[in-house]
């Protein structure tokens, strides 16, 4: 039997023991999803993962992949959150080979709570260190799946001075016409984050493309600049 099975079972059992029915109902309503929750908050979930690590070690990439995807296929939302916790924690396995895992997860991600962390923390880091994956962002921004389009923006979120500005600009302007809330918000968010690195660039970009960017995107983009 795979060593990963006891680790998954351990975490599932601890989640079930910590279940809070009232909190679960509130979390499910907030996320507007049909997927059930245990009602376990982030600190408790992190503690459960910490306890699981004391029992089992993930020793190779195959185990890493199996554990992440096993949790990702879970019935309860917190299992998906644990999948991302696991994926992020084991940095030694976050190699270019892991991109296929994260893309597979993104294919079934159905809301901002999963899409955003996948995009900015996991996918974005691999794009930063392996620029060949920028071709995937170009592919995703043309996707019929709105979450893939959002991911094509948020993968740049934490790149700071290493941001590929021509690619980001091109993607923003390609998606700027959309009326979709999550796209408009993502455009503003990624510009706002980059304004912490180069506020002058963001200010000039927003001014130059004021007629193309939605009011929401502009407001989000300039939040940090307007506070200073």
CATH of the domain at 23: 1.25.10.90
Provide the residue range defining the domain that includes 9.
Answer: 1-93
**Number of compact structural domains in the chain:** 1
Inside any domain, residue 4? yes
Sign of CA dihedral 34, 39, 42, 48: negative
Inside any domain, residue 137? no
Q: Token pair of 207, please?
A: 């001014």
Inside any domain, residue 26? yes
DSSP the chain: --THHHHHHHHHHHHHHT--HHHHHHHHHHHT-SS------HHHHHHHHHHHHTT----SHHHHHHHHHHHHT-SSHHHHHHHHHHHHH-GGG-SGGGHHHHHHHHHH--SHHHHHHIIIIIIHHHHHH-GGGHHHHHHHTT-SSHHHHHHHHHTTTT-GGG--HHHHHHHHHHHTT---HHHHHHHHHHHHHHHTT-HHHHHHHHHHTTTTS-HHHHHHHTHHHHH-
Given this model, what pLDDT does residue 57 score?
A: 84
Inside any domain, residue 33? yes
Per-residue pLDDT of the chain (228 residues; tens, 9 = 90+): 456 778 999 999 999 999 999 999 999 999 999 999 999 999 999 999 999 999 888 999 999 999 999 999 999 999 999 999 999 999 999 999 999 999 999 999 999 999 999 999 999 999 999 999 999 999 999 999 999 999 999 999 999 999 999 999 999 999 999 999 999 999 999 999 999 999 999 999 999 999 999 999 999 999 999 997
Given this model, what pLDDT does residue 184 score?
A: 99
Inside any domain, residue 162? no
Instruction: Quote the CA–CA distance of 34 and 97 in Å, as a whole number.
Output: 32
Of 33, 188, 217, 14, give the one whose Cα is nearest residue 110: 33
Between the alpha carbon of residue 53 and those of residues 4, 67, 222, the distances in Å are 11, 12, 42
Inside any domain, residue 5? yes
């Amino acid at each position: 039997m795979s060593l990963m099975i006891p680790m998954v079972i351990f975490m599932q059992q601890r989640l079930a023991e910590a279940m809070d029915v009232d909190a679960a109902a509130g979390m499910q309503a907030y996320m507007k999803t049909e997927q059930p929750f245990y009602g376990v908050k982030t600190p408790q979930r992190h503690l459960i993962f910490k306890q699981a690590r004391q029992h089992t070690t993930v020793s190779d990439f195959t185990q890493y992949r199996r554990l992440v995807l096993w949790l990702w296929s879970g019935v309860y939302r917190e299992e998906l959150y644990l999948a991302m916790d696991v994926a992020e924690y084991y940095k030694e396995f976050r190699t270019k080979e892991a991109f296929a895992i994260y893309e597979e997860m993104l294919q079934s991600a159905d809301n901002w709570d999963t899409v955003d962390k996948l995009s900015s923390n996991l996918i974005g880091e691999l794009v930063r260190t392996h620029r060949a994956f920028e071709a995937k962002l170009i592919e995703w921004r043309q996707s019929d799946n709105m979450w893939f389009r959002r991911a094509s923006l948020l993968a740049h979120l934490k790149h700071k001075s290493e941001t590929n500005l021509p690619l980001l600009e091109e993607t923003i302007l390609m998606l700027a016409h959309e009326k979709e809330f999550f796209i408009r918000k993502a455009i503003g968010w990624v510009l706002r984050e980059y304004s912490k690195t180069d506020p002058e660039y963001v200010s000039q970009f927003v001014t130059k493309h004021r007629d193309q960017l939605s009011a929401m995107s502009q407001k989000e983009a300039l939040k940090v600049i307007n506070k200073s």
